[in-house]
Amino acid sequence: MISQETKQRILDATQIEEVIGDFVSLRKRGGNHIGCCPFHNEKTPSFYVSPSKGIFKCFGCGESGDAVSFLMKHEHYTYPEALRWLAQKYNITIEEEQLSEEQQQRRSERDALFHVSEFAEQFFVDSMMNTELGQAVGLGYYHKRGLSDEIIKRFGLGYSPDEWRAFTDHALKNGYSKEVLEKTGLTIVKEDGKMYDRFRGRVTFPIYSISGRVLGFSCRILSSEKQAAKYVNSPDSDIYNKSNILYGLFQAKNAISRLNKCYLVEGNLDVVSMHQSGVENTVASCGTSLTIEQIRLIKRYTPNVTIVYDSDAAGIKATQRAANLLFQEGMRVRCVLFPDGDDPDSYAQHNGSAALQQYLDEHEENYILYKARITSEQIKRDPIRKSEFIQDIADSIALVQNLIERSEYIQQCSSLFNVSEQSLSSLVAKTINRNRQHPTAGPQNETPADQPVVEQPKVHIAQSDITTAQGTCEAFERHLVDLLMRFGGEVVNWTYRPPDQEEDITKPLSVASIIISTLHSSGLSFENPLYQEVYTLALDALKQGKIISPSQFAASENPDIRELAISSMMQPYEVSDLWQSTKGIYVPDEIHRLPSDLSDTLHHFRLKKVELELAENSQRLKEESDPGQILLLVKRHTELINLKKVIAQKLRMVISGI
């Protein structure tokens, strides 16, 4: 193992612009270097490299990272391989560190699992290509499904003989232990010690990691035995977890990034058939329903997903579930439904590759608008269910993260259902609030027991309020998170009034402590779960006495936080020195503007939260009939108006109409 001292020497010596310059043509612009992104096709450069920060960022496709991650993504190196490449470039001698006995055992076990999996792949290929039975049964099956030898080779497809111990005996003869064979799931070991192959009489689909290593297998039965499972997959192991892997991603990732779109299908054969038809940006989940982890894998390459599941009842249900998960992760979702009885594989077999591509292009629909259109047709046949269907559409719209998209969906769906935008907006707002109060996935906002909470909208908010108040609130949330990540450790002179005093005091405080204490004392939290997770990390760091720094977030285990941190650190524009040298105009840098920027952002954030609660309170006043509740709402309304005036005065704003 490379020693920590050697790693640090390598990283200290690395000049990111030199490393990336070996693969990308860069030119200097201000303090950065720019070029065309190597991860997607572009004519106008949007790929920025910052030597001072040691990071790169593409503002086109979103790829980002440091020199090591660039090599891992571009050259498909492992982390140690990337370090060794850098060490060779900068003439640094690698000093190995002796692994502990436990580390050596763990490492050798994982290596053994990888090696036996790759050994199994070659055995299955040889069994199909070099035996008479394999050619007749295995290869014959693939040819019957319309697959070419080229595509069979590209996906490593093979055949496992219909014998009890064909692979197990072959592996044991070649030195692989019973324990390793059992851990990969290639061999099943009974309590009495007897062993037999897990995959017998099946065609084999190896499942690759992003870098192309064999992790496991998905194998389809060829016999007509009714009691046998159609597909058998490798069990989870130290190298294989079906919830974290997408079938075909290794072969599809470059096409997904280049085309900025991913087709999501149900089965392995659908993936292979789509690739053969020229639709190479296609993947499938590995024998499981779509998971959040799999969505985040896709999100590394594109935010655009088109679901191409079966058009039967089960397929439509699976499409709806997948779409909801994708929306929760901020993806843009479309769908394609094939005629009854067809899937991508069968459609390509019957109609050819060109017809498949044409069908996908012509029948792709925005998922929510498709759902609304189908639902509106059903409503015409059954008016009694109208409210139920509209609520279902509202539930889907509420999952959309982008506020502009959400507003557009409300407008178009209200027209389809012949209901007012105001009514649909109210349903969406209620669903959003319900989801916040009872989240089913993702980080949850933790609030101290003694902390007052500003209530979020529970009923109707007019559409104008959503697009202005809530939209601006999102913008200030993002800016607060930027300040927290980039300048959390910076100390500024901050004027505030402690709860137990009547006069303001001025005291040097870190930006992180100012943001955290202000939100805590105001009873506020971030609506965006990712921003709230950043807030929680900063809070934990402060409790441990650590200084907040951008590198802390850029090194997060959460890829979304890493992306957010690098995006905050890397700005595409900077003020030219010519303003001061030739025009005599001094533009204050961000550090000098930090106190006023921080103050204004916090006040605006609080103001928008108050406006949202006012909108809710006004609507509740219109709908409430209980006299006691009306008095409470009027009292709260007065408090909110006064609070809005106080915050506006601090911002030197004139508030009209109150």
Q: Could you tell me what percent of the chain has a pLDDT over 90?
A: 21
Question: Does the structure show a pLDDT above 50 at 1?
Answer: yes
Q: Has residue 577 been placed in a domain?
A: no
Residue with tokens 């303090």: 31
Residues 265, 221: one domain? no
> Is the pLDDT reported for residue 13 higher than 90?
no
Cβ distance 301 to 382 under 8 Å? no
What is the pairing mode between strands 282-285 and 214-221? Answer: unpaired
Claim to verify: residue 275 and residue 350 sit in the same structural domain: yes
Based on the fold, state whether residues 153 and 252 are members of the same structural domain.
no
* CA 309/CA 315 separation, integer angstroms: 6
3 state DSSP class of 424: helix
Buried b vs exposed e over 195-215: b needs ≥16 C-beta within 10 Å?
A: bebbbbbbbbbbbbbeeeebb
Identify the domain containing residue 625 by its residue range. 463-569+586-650
List, in sequence order, every beta strand (DSSP E) within 115-201. 158-160, 187-189, 195-197
Q: Are residues 381 and 350 in the same domain?
A: no
Q: What pLDDT is stored for residue 470 in this prediction?
A: 42
Q: Quick check: is 454 in a domain?
A: no
Structural domain ending residue among the three candidates 193, 225, 240: 240
Q: What is the pLDDT of residue 54?
A: 83
Tell whether 574 is covered by a domain.
no
The pLDDT confidence band at residue 624, using thresholds 50, 70 and 90, is confident
Domain count of the fold of the chain: 5
Task: Tell me the CATH number at 252.
Answer: 3.40.1360.10
Q: 340 and 423: one domain?
A: no
Percent of the chain's residues with pLDDT above 70: 85
Same domain, 198 and 308: no
Asked whether the predicted pLDDT for residue 243 surpasses 50, the reply is yes
- Is 417 in contact with 451 (CB distance < 8 Å)? no
Same domain (yes/no): 201, 310:
no
**């910052």: which residue's tokens?**
50
pLDDT at 460: 31
Average pLDDT (161-170) is 93
In the predicted structure, residue 225 carries a pLDDT above the cut 80? no
CATH (domain of 405):
1.20.50
Choosing from 322, 345, 363, the residue where a domain stops is 363
Residues 119 and 234 occupy one common structural domain: yes
Q: What burial letters (b/e) apply to 92-106, b meaning 16+ CB within 10 Å?
A: beeeeeeeeeeeeee
Are 203 and 182 in the same domain? Answer: yes
* H or E stretch covering 427: helix 421-437
**CATH number, position 130:** 3.90.980.10
635 inside domain? yes
CB-CB neighbours of 11 under 10 Å:
14
Report pTM: 0.56
Which of the residue ranges 218-222, 260-264, 627-631 would you say has the lowest mean pLDDT? 627-631
Q: At which of 346, 363, 380 does a domain end? A: 363
Residue 532 sits in the same domain as residue 615: yes
299 shares its domain with 338: yes
- The H or E element containing residue 491 is strand 491-496
Q: What is the mean pLDDT of the chain?
A: 80
Q: pLDDT tens digits for 389-447?
A: 788 888 888 888 777 778 888 888 887 777 777 778 878 888 887 776 665 443 333 33
Q: Domain check: are 522 and 487 in the same one?
A: yes
What token pair was written down for 578?
């010519």
Q: What is the pLDDT of residues 509-560, one digit of tens each?
A: 888 888 988 888 878 888 888 888 888 888 888 888 877 877 778 767 677 7
Residue 29 pairs with which residues in a beta bridge?
32
Please give the Cα distance from 306 to 288 (Å, whole number): 18
Instruction: Report the range of poorest mean pLDDT among 64-78, 241-255, 313-327, 376-390.
Output: 376-390
Q: Does residue 328 fall inside a structural domain?
A: yes
pLDDT tens by residue, 91-141: 888 776 665 566 555 657 778 888 999 999 999 999 999 999 999 999 999
pLDDT in tens, 337-366: 888 777 888 888 888 888 888 999 988 988
Task: CATH number of the domain at 41, please.
Answer: 3.90.580.10
Strand, coil or helix: 478:
helix
Query: What is the per-residue pLDDT across 565-598, written as a single tens digit (0 to 9) for each?
Result: 877 777 655 555 555 556 665 555 667 778 888 8
- The residues facing 220 across adjacent strands are 203, 231
